[in-house]
Amino acid sequence: MTKLFLILKSFSTRELATFEQFLEDPLVNQREDVRKLLVYWKQSPSKFTKEKGFEWVYPGQKLKIPTWHLLMSRLFKLAEQFLISNELKQDEVFQKILLAKAYRKKQIPGHFESTVKNTRKLLEKTPIQNTDWLHQKLTIEYEYYDYIASHNRKERTNLQMVNNLLDEYFITNKLRNACLSISRKTINGEKYEIYFLNEVLEKVEKLPILLEVPSIAIYYYCYRAITEEGSEIWFTKLRAAMADHSERFEPSEKRDIILLAINYCIRQLNTGNEYFIREAFELYRLSFSEDYLLEDKIIPESTFTNMVSLAAKLKEYQWAEDFVEANQKYLNPNFQEPLYFYSLGLLNYEQGRYEKSMQSLAKVDTKMTFLLLAAKALQIKIYVELKEMDVLENLLDSFRVFLQRRKDLGYRKENFENLVNFVRRWITIPYKNQEDKQRLIDDIKAANIFSEKDWLIKQVVK
């Protein structure tokens, strides 16, 4: 499919109608053949061919490939102009910035100063005060500085304000990108060079007034939380800043911030810190209630399973069952069935219904690595609690081989390797050997990444 038709296919019925009106504006388009091509595509996009399209636009003429390519190119460029126009209409501040730039270039001082004044007022009233907002403030002040500097070099300028805004914009972006980079590294091992990060952190420490900028506060506390030992205090500050400033961010960025906070909680849980079960669950529930976790009307698979798992650990069984039944339809169609059966298996396990759990887990047929890992881990726990040692040993062996072969599991690999190794050590310890049991318990507690610490320790001391 050509670039043009990818754009047209993305348009809603209303957008197509508006685009057709856009093409009827003589200031935009004066070619009837371009408009006719769009009309024909609207009538039968699924049956569209260049032969039929050319015949519709140029009745009685044979297909000429160069002419056809030129026609397509013209409509494509107009489609892009239409997209730009729509985006511009939705951004009043950017419109005014462009207008101020135009007045400055045309040297109409009164109009320029009035536009700058109105833009500043509009920016102060804007509820969204994120990185883009800082960039817009910086841009309009740059325009004003150029205006003053070009007229009278001796006049006092706003250059200090420009420098302050540039610092705030740079610091916010650097901290945000650092948080996102670390998150990506944790998930899939991606590595990034983050220059000037130490200088940025030192600057915020020396000038705490910078934390009055909502976006700096959010990402500074977030970075500290996800990179430092004993980070609970920073996470507490992050949650407070999120509560104070959540309305300053657009939904897409608010979603990123919440996911960063959730990922922090999940990493804490993977170290065995169960305090964060409730925190992670409430963050997920908040995000889901406000549609932040839907991506193109689809719930990500890991999000779905994490919500069910957290709810089960909190004994919110009815909520979890209702959630699974009501939201299975929002999963990727390829994964609806395996995720559904895994969720039932997990909920039945948490309620002690092991036979029902195993029946559901047996139906988890999937190539999704994270789901295979979770299902195998759950089977291990069931066999441990049922004392099915022969089956357990076979499962531990096959799971160990699977983990050795996979190089793309990130921190998850260490977590599941610890599960296999600690369980295998436990089943080899004689029942009355309290010394070896205590040694195992100490090693479990000392493990950096192991989400089943409390569960396995309970099994060892039974």
* CA–CA separation, 147 and 171 (whole Å): 26
CB 459 within 8 A of CB 424: no
Helix axes of 336-350 and 354-361: crossing angle, nearest 10 degrees: 160
pLDDT digits (tens, 9 = 90+) for 277-323: 999 999 998 888 887 777 667 888 888 988 999 999 899 999 999 99
Terminal alpha carbon distance of the chain: 63
Rg of the chain over all Cα atoms, to the nearest angstrom: 29
Task: Output DSSP code: residue 330.
Answer: G
β-sheet bridge partners, residue 298: 295
pLDDT at 93 over 90: yes
Look at residue 129 in the predicted model and tell me its pLDDT: 92
pLDDT digits (tens, 9 = 90+) for 34-77: 999 999 998 888 788 889 899 999 999 999 999 999 999 999 99
Task: Output DSSP code: residue 46.
Answer: G
pLDDT at 204 over 90: yes
Helix axes of 131-151 and 159-188: crossing angle, nearest 10 degrees: 150
CB 331 within 8 A of CB 304: yes
- List, in sequence order, the alpha helices (H) in 290-388: 301-313, 317-327, 336-350, 354-361, 369-386
Residue linked to tokens 């833009």:
119
* CA–CA separation, 380 and 387 (whole Å): 10
**3-class SS shares of the chain: helix, strand, coil, % to 5:** 75, 0, 25
pLDDT category, 152, cuts 50, 70, 90? low
Look at residue 234 in the predicted model and tell me its pLDDT: 95
Rounded to the nearest integer, the mean pLDDT of the chain is 91
pLDDT at 368 over 90: no
Q: Distances in Å between the alpha carbon of 388 and those of 250, 372, 382, 456?
A: 52, 21, 9, 16
- In 3D space, the residue among 332, 342, 349, 411 whose CA is nearest the CA of residue 371 turns out to be 342
* CA–CA separation, 154 and 163 (whole Å): 19
pLDDT digits (tens, 9 = 90+) for 33-44: 999 999 999 888
* CA–CA separation, 41 and 46 (whole Å): 9
Task: Output DSSP code: residue 127.
Answer: S
Question: Rounded to the nearest 5°, which phi and psi values hold at 356?
Answer: -65, -35
| 154 or 358, higher pLDDT | 358
Helix axes of 411-428 and 251-270: crossing angle, nearest 10 degrees: 20
Quick check: pTM over 0.85?
no
CB 172 within 8 A of CB 216: yes
Look at residue 442 in the predicted model and tell me its pLDDT: 93
* CA–CA separation, 417 and 297 (whole Å): 35
Give the lowest-confidence range in 125-134, 157-166, 195-204, 262-271: 262-271
Q: Which secondary structure element, helix H or strand E, spans residue 194, and what is its range?
A: none
Percent of the residues in the chain that have a pLDDT greater than 90, as a whole number: 67
Look at residue 1 in the predicted model and tell me its pLDDT: 54
Look at residue 9 in the predicted model and tell me its pLDDT: 92
Buried/exposed 302-311: b ≥16 CB within 10 Å, e otherwise:
ebbbbbbbbb
pLDDT digits (tens, 9 = 90+) for 214-252: 999 999 999 999 998 778 999 999 999 999 998 999 988
Q: Per this entry, what is the length of the chain? A: 462
Chain mean position to CA 48? 36
